[in-house]
Amino acid sequence: MLAADEKRLILLTWNKTKTYFPHFDLRPDSKHIRWHGKKVVAALGDAVRHIDNISEALSALSNLHVYSLRVDPVNFKLLCHCFQVVLAVHLADKYTPQVHLAYDKFLAAVSAVLTKKYR
């Protein structure tokens, strides 16, 4: 399945996946992953409920990520892509091109709010 070079690269980079969550169990169905996933989905739910003012809804979260956690802003874009994949899998036929485009714009707005204070 994996070539020797690919295995070596994975082994060398695996510890870097724990940059922000060194204490997390990263295995599938981990309670840590589920707990953090619920927090992420709750934040996105806040953004949906305040869709006309996403900036205000996510202001505290933005401050936390910028000033306390110092999360690399590229992670927000990656999270948006991951969320799109999850939506596509779970919504199946209901994930139409129009729904995809709407979520793409919404998640881009969320990402922009979360990265704005980095500038």
30-116 domain in CATH 3.20.20.70?
no
Tell me the domain boundaries of the chain.
30-116
- Judge whether residue 91 has pLDDT over 70: yes
The whole-angstrom separation of Cα 10 and Cα 111 is 28
**The token pair that represents 88 in the structure block:** 């596509």
Contact between residue 98 and residue 49 where contact means Cβ atoms under 8 Å apart: no
Report the pLDDT value the prediction gives residue 16, as an integer from 0 to 100. 65
* Alpha-carbon span 83 to 42, nearest angstrom: 13
**pLDDT of 20 strictly over 90:** no
Is residue 28's pLDDT more than 70?
A: yes
The mean predicted confidence, pLDDT, of the chain is 86
Whether 6 shows a pLDDT value over 90: the answer reads: no
List the helix and strand counts (H, then E) for the chain. 6, 0
pTM: 0.75
